[in-house]
Amino acid sequence: MLAALDLVRDPELDEPITTLGFVATCVVSAAGDVVVRLRLPTYFCAPNFAFLMVADAYDVVSALPDVRTVDVALEDHFAAGQINAGVAARAGFVASFEGEAVDELDELRRTFVTKALLAGTDQVCRQLIAAGTDRADLAGLTLGDVPPSAERDRLLRRRAELGLRTDAAAALLIDPGTGSAISAAGAPKYLGMARLTRTGIEANTGICRGMLLHRYAETGAGEEAQG
């Protein structure tokens, strides 16, 4: 069950909720009834991000074979009531926050996948530079020029989520919005933006981990139990 929850990411941090410590408990009964409780670093974490994580957790657990019922809920959050009720009813974000939300969260999700793609591009480029590639040559590289690595695989997944090319002949440096290759002249600015995006995500991840650790000092959270 926790392996399924590994697929759910914090949209802003681009990390699984399991490794971030956001899964407080996951209990599975012998009959296939699943109860998952999620938690976040603060009481006031953005409700749109929280809604995405709770809804995604519900979806991945519901899709598993032999699961009879699913109860996924967020705890210790100011909007937990609205989020939990909306996800349980499959109501969507706007209906769950009637009078407060005007749009669903598809564009927000895409925005953060785009940031994850930029950050992932920087990670791959740093590896290439460390291996001896000249920074000036990066604009001419394709995905086929990138050695296999966990970072490369992650980048390919983010590109696929955005509907962008992932084949070996595709350019490494691309505009996330159009998929067009970045020119050599535009590469320095692009790479600088990618680096800033990566460092921003990593800084926010460190802050969230520290806040969660401070908020929940108990051990054993996130463990899967069989009922």
- Predicted confidence (pLDDT) per residue in 76-105, tens digit: 999 999 999 999 999 999 999 999 998 999
The phi and psi torsions of 105 (rounded to 5 degrees) equal -105, 15
* pLDDT at site 214: 96
* pLDDT at site 126: 98
- Tell how strand 23-28 and strand 69-74 pair up: unpaired
pLDDT digits (tens, 9 = 90+) for 42-73: 999 999 999 999 999 999 999 999 999 999 99
pLDDT-derived band at 225 (thresholds 50, 70, 90) equals: low
* Residue 71 host element (H or E): strand 69-74
* pLDDT at site 199: 98
pLDDT-derived band at 217 (thresholds 50, 70, 90) equals: confident
Please state the rounded mean pLDDT for residues 187-200. 98
- If you average pLDDT over every residue of the chain, what do you get? 95
The whole-angstrom separation of Cα 203 and Cα 200 is 5
The phi and psi torsions of 107 (rounded to 5 degrees) equal -70, -35
Please state the rounded mean pLDDT for residues 187-212. 98
The whole-angstrom separation of Cα 171 and Cα 177 is 14
The answer to whether 72 and 86 have CB atoms below 8 angstroms apart is no
pLDDT-derived band at 7 (thresholds 50, 70, 90) equals: very high
* pLDDT at site 79: 98
* pLDDT at site 98: 93
Indicate the pTM of the whole model.
0.91
Three-class SS of residue 64?
A: coil
pLDDT digits (tens, 9 = 90+) for 138-157: 999 999 999 999 999 999 99
* pLDDT at site 166: 98
The answer to whether 40 and 50 have CB atoms below 8 angstroms apart is yes
| Torsion sign over Cα 76, 44, 100, 50 | negative
The whole-angstrom separation of Cα 141 and Cα 152 is 14
pLDDT at 223 over 80: no
pLDDT-derived band at 226 (thresholds 50, 70, 90) equals: low
pLDDT at 220 over 90: no
pLDDT-derived band at 127 (thresholds 50, 70, 90) equals: very high
The whole-angstrom separation of Cα 119 and Cα 15 is 12
* pLDDT at site 219: 47
- DSSP assignment letter at 7: T
In terms of residues, how long is the chain? 227
Taking each helix axis from N to C end, the angle separating 187-215 and 106-130, rounded to the nearest 10 degrees, works out to 110
Domains, the chain, with CATH or none: 2-104+208-226 (3.30.300.130), 107-206 (no CATH)
